[in-house]
Amino acid sequence: MRKPGILIVDDDESVLVMISEWLTKYDYEVFATLTVAGAIEIFQRHRESIDILLTDIKLQDESGFDLADILERDYGFDNHVFFTAFFWDEETAEELLRRGKPYFEKPLNFKRDILPFLKRVLKPRMDGPE
């Protein structure tokens, strides 16, 4: 059985490295990038290995929402999760609610929130149809 693949996008390199190291430690295959363009390039090359997108919403002059829209529109990939430090921003909160996708607030708590969530969401994908 292959490792679950996670595409992580965050424009803060230290956060990206920390998330990548944590997930690698817990036996996930990690694809990491700082930009939307990098994420699209990685997705195109490793589409069959990526099970979920974990993206920050605010990415320099780009948006994790835009990335999710591109992956849905161009590739039919809609398994994405958002994270942000800007929950207080009304537009961000409204967009998260409109999309109805899972999201987490920074700072991320891996042991309490992220790891149990990923285990629950990715296990059925890795086990395959019954």
* Run of H or E including 5: strand 5-9
What would the pLDDT profile of 31-64 be if each residue is shown by its tens digit? 999 999 999 999 999 999 999 999 999 998 899 9
Fold of 5-122: Rossmann fold (3.40.50)
Q: For the chain, what are the domain ranges?
A: 5-122
The share of the chain scoring above pLDDT 70, in percent, equals 93
pLDDT of residue 85: 84
Distance CA 108, CA 84 (A): 9
Residue 130 has pLDDT above 50, yes or no: no
Residue 126 has pLDDT above 60, yes or no: no
Distances (CA, A) of 123 to 1, 45, 117: 11, 23, 10
Distances (CA, A) of 45 to 23, 38, 40, 42, 98: 20, 11, 9, 5, 30
Distance CA 34, CA 116 (A): 25
Average pLDDT of the chain to the nearest whole number:
91
